[in-house]
Amino acid sequence: MLTRIDHIGIACFDLDKTVEFYRATYGFEVFHTEVNEEQGVREAMLKINETSDGGASYLQLLEPTREDSAVGKWLAKNGEGVHHIAFGTADVDGAADDIRGKGVRVLYDEPRIGSMGSRITFLHPKDCHGVLTELVTSADPSSAEH
């Protein structure tokens, strides 16, 4: 079962400049930053609010660290903007299996490690009305590093 909008991923060319825009314009502060070598991105998570299921909702700003990464290719084709939407779930494996059973392609056979130690998988955008969709099970909050 999906419980919340976990985050909206926004692809950008310059992470620091984009973080500053969201800070100056909306007052959002960086909650967490990291480099994900496997996905080829440097990212900043800006917390928007807490949620009733103990999670939170974020904006995830993504700057590619290499041109051949998925985000790098996407930026080259589309420019800056909304890259994906992520829904939170207590069980990414179960949610992916359920959605796969409804005919939607799940991009990873097994969930991978995402931001802040979460477990993630993606759904094919062609099966989701053009929207790249991520499923996320958050890591134990006490284990997340800021």
C-alpha–C-alpha distance, residues 42 and 66, integer Å: 10
Angstrom distances, CA of residue 93 to CA of 2, 46, 47, 137:
12, 26, 25, 9
Classify residue 145: in a domain, yes or no.
Answer: no
| pLDDT at 142 > cutoff 90 | no
- pLDDT tens track for 86-130: 999 999 999 999 999 999 999 999 999 999 999 999 999 999 999
C-alpha–C-alpha distance, residues 29 and 45, integer Å: 9
Residue 50 has a pLDDT of 84
Tokens of 7: 């985050």
Annotated active-site residue in 39, 43, 63, 83: 43
C-alpha–C-alpha distance, residues 114 and 134, integer Å: 10
Q: Is the pTM of this model over 0.95?
A: no
Classify residue 146: in a domain, yes or no.
Answer: no
Classify residue 142: in a domain, yes or no.
Answer: no
Annotated active-site residue in 39, 63, 83, 134: 134
Q: Is 129 known to be catalytic?
A: no
> How many structural domains is the chain composed of?
1
The CA radius of gyration of the chain, in Å to the nearest whole number, is: 15
Classify residue 91: in a domain, yes or no.
Answer: yes
Give me the CATH number covering residue 104: 3.10.180.10
Classify residue 61: in a domain, yes or no.
Answer: yes
Q: Is 43 known to be catalytic?
A: yes
Annotated active-site residue in 7, 39, 63, 83: 7
Classify residue 143: in a domain, yes or no.
Answer: no
- Residue 96 contacts residue 135 (beta carbons within 8 Å): yes
Q: Is 134 known to be catalytic?
A: yes
Annotated active-site residue in 29, 37, 60, 67: 60
Q: Which domain holds residue 62?
A: 2-137
